[in-house]
Amino acid sequence: MPEVLLETRGLGKRFGAVVAAEDVNVSVTAGEIVGVIGANGAGKTTFCNMVTGYLTPDLGQILFRGKDITGCSVGQATEAGIHRSFQIPQLFPGLTVYENLLLAVGVFGHRRPPWWQPLVRPEVENEATAIMERYRIAESATTRVDRLPQGVRKLLDIAMAMVGQPAMILLDEPTSGISTKEKFDVMGNVIDALRKSGATVLFVEHDMEVVGRYADRVIAFREGRVLADGTPDVVLEDPAVIEHVVGRRPGRAPDA
C-alpha cells in the first residue's frame, strides 16, 4: 500500500467576496504524477500557495506524510519536503545558470557547506553541474538568466526547486510561455528527471494535451471546488469538465 503523501481536508480560502478555495479534499499518493486543471481563477494557484505555506487557509487542514502542516511558513513547508516551481520563473536574473545553481546548492542542497565556509567547493560544483546535465541546460551554463529563452528558464526554475530533493514538487504551469513546438521537449525532460528522482509531482496545466500525456491522475477545479478527480481518460471526458474547464474537445490546445 503506497503512502499517502499529501492530504487536504475541507480546505477553504476567500479573498474578500472571491471564493478561491472551498471544501477542497485532495489526496496524493507517493510517486503519483497529478495534473491540476481549471479555468483562470478556479483556485489552482491558490491551492499551490496554501500547500507550500505561502498562503494560510481560512478553513481546513493540510497533512503531509500524516503531519499537520496547516499554516506553516514557506520555510517550514520547504523543510518538510514540499517545493514548487513558478508560472513566471523565479530565478536570480543577474547571475548565470551555473551561478544560480551554485547558490541554490550552496545554501540549500544536501551538500551545502557550513555558513561561514567558502560556498564554492568541489562537491557543490559537481552537484550544480550534475543538475544542469540532468535538466539538459548545461549548454546555457555561462549565460545570464535574464538573457535566456523562456524554455530554459522554466527548466532552470524546476531544477532549482529540485535542489533540495523534495518528496513532492508542485509545478505551476510548467509549459506556459513556451512555444507549442518546444513544450513537449521541455515537459519530457522535466518528467524524465522527476521520475528518476522519485518525486511526487503535482502540476498545474492549461494544455490538455500535456495533461493527457503526462498525468497519472487529473484533478479539475472550478470556482474553488474540486469538480472532478480521477484518471485522465475519465476526467478529460467528463461533460462538466469539458464544459467548464476544457472548453472544447481534448486533443486540441485551447487558447492561452
Binding of another protein by 50 (CB under 8 A):
no
Smallest distance from another protein to CB 241, Å: 31
Q: Interaction with another protein in 58-77: which residues (CB under 8 A)?
A: 74-75
Task: Give yes or no for a contact between 224 and 19, defined as CB atoms under 8 angstroms apart.
Answer: yes
The secondary structure of 155-224, three-state, reads HHHHHHHCCCCCCEEEEECCCCCCCHHHHHHHHHHHHHHHHHHCCEEEEECCCHHHHHHHCCEEEEEECC
Q: Count residues contacting another protein (CB under 8 A)?
A: 35
Tell which one of 19, 95, 141, 242 touches another protein (CB under 8 A).
Answer: 95
102-110, 129-137, 189-197, 237-245 -> range binding another protein (CB under 8 A): 102-110
Binding of another protein by 78 (CB under 8 A):
yes
Binding of another protein by 198 (CB under 8 A):
no
26's grid cell: 485532495
Give the nearer residue to another protein in terms of CB position, either 104 or 246.
104
Site string for another protein, 146-175 (x = CB under 8 A): --------------xx-xx-----------
186's grid cell: 521541455
Question: Looking at this protein, which amino acid is placed at residue 57?
Answer: P
Rounded Cα distance between 100 and 95, Å, is: 6
Residue 181: CB atoms within 10 Å? 8
Binding site for another protein (CB under 8 A): 52, 74-75, 78-79, 83-84, 86, 90-95, 102-104, 106-108, 112-121, 125, 160-161, 163-164
